[in-house]
Structure 1
Amino acid sequence: MQNPGSNIANYIREARQELMKVTWPTRQEATRSTVAVIVVSLAIALFLGGVDFLLGFMLNRFIL
């Protein structure tokens, strides 16, 4: 049976090695992706807000 402390140390060592292999995005790529996520999120929010408004209006106008 191994020492639990050595398992944790081994895990941290392997995680660090894997992180060294990662190709991190440039600042420009990260900024572009962030802007794209914000724009798409706002577009979906506006669409869903509009659908909610229309359905609420129709419910109040024609059913209630």
Structure 2
Amino acid sequence: MKLNLKYFAEVKSELAKVVWPKKSEVIKLTLVVLIITIIVGAYVGALDIIFAKLLKFIIET
């Protein structure tokens, strides 16, 4: 039991040392991730459509 208390005390002291990001920084980086995700998703979706049409063309000829 004593080991568990020591562990949590150490966790608490380590968390006190963490430099947490500001709210504005979190929002900005979240928007960057969302934008990149949308761009990559659109790119992959476009490739899927192109390859599906190409495969359909190859199969039908």
Q: Same fold (TM over 0.5)?
A: yes
Unaligned ranges ≥5, structure 1: none
15, 30, 33: which is aligned to 1:34?
Answer: 30
Q: What displacement does 1:9 show? A: 1.1
Normalising by structure 2, report the TM-score.
Answer: 0.90
Within the candidate set 45, 50, 62, 2:46 is matched to 50
Q: Spell out, residue by residue over 1:33-62, the C-alpha distance to the aligned partner (whole angstroms, 9 max, x if none).
A: 000000001111000001111001100112
Matched-pair identity in %: 25
- Cα-Cα RMSD: 0.9
Size of the alignment, in residue pairs? 60
Q: Which amino acid aligns with 2:9?
A: R
